[in-house]
Structure 1
Amino acid sequence: MAWRDFKKKVKRQFSDFLEIPGDVVLDMPRITLVGNIQLLVENHRGIIEYTPEGVRISVGEGELAVTGENLALRNIIPDELCIEGVIRTLSFI
């Protein structure tokens, strides 16, 4: 087992034992999708790229790519952002 996998397993067990949400302990994003018109991303690390057709966001150990039409960034604060528009796809890269 790789060291990274071991650390993640220990953190997950720790969060389960203390009943702490996994996204807090494991440094994972919390993603809330409202239909296909609004996306809320909490616990992000910043915006990598933004166009009306796509947004790439740095999260934990990678990136979240959002594609769609007329995408607009709303409510950008250090740990949370909101994307509005017609959302077509979400993918982790």
Structure 2
Amino acid sequence: MAKWQQRLRTLLTEQFSLPSDIILEMPRITVIGNIHIYIENHQGLAVYSENELKLKTNNGYVQIRGTSFVLKMMLPKEILLEGTISEVKFLGN
């Protein structure tokens, strides 16, 4: 993404009080304890196994590691994952 586009999005977010996760195309992650994780605004599934979930985002990837993973819901822009979550990591492009 061009730097001017990033600056424009930041300006819109600040000046008009718009939600930054939508304007900046960032993922919204909700974690409940270490057993549920709900992720919105992703761009697709890159890796899924019983121990790892990796999602493409606008700025790289979100990687979740743990055990006994089960995809409870998967929509084009949303995922609900259950299992024992031990790590959530942001990886660059």
**TM score, norm. by length of structure 2:** 0.91
- 1:4-23 correspondence to structure 2 within 5 Å: 4-23=2-21
Q: 4+ residue runs of structure 1 moved beyond 2 angstroms? A: 3-7
How many equivalent pairs are there? 91
How big is the alpha-carbon RMSD for the aligned residues of Structure 1 and Structure 2?
1.3
- 1:1-93 correspondence to structure 2 within 5 Å: 4-93=2-91
- Partner Cα separation in structure 1 for residue 3 and residue 64 of structure 2: 27
**TM score, norm. by length of structure 1:** 0.91
- Partner Cα separation in structure 2 for residue 12 and residue 20 of structure 1: 10
Q: Which ranges of structure 2 fall in alignment gaps of 5 or more residues?
A: none
The structure with more strand, counted as a fraction of residues: 1
Matched AA of 2:11:
Q
Q: Which ranges of structure 1 fall in alignment gaps of 5 or more residues?
A: none
What is the percentage of aligned positions where both structures have the same residue? Answer: 27
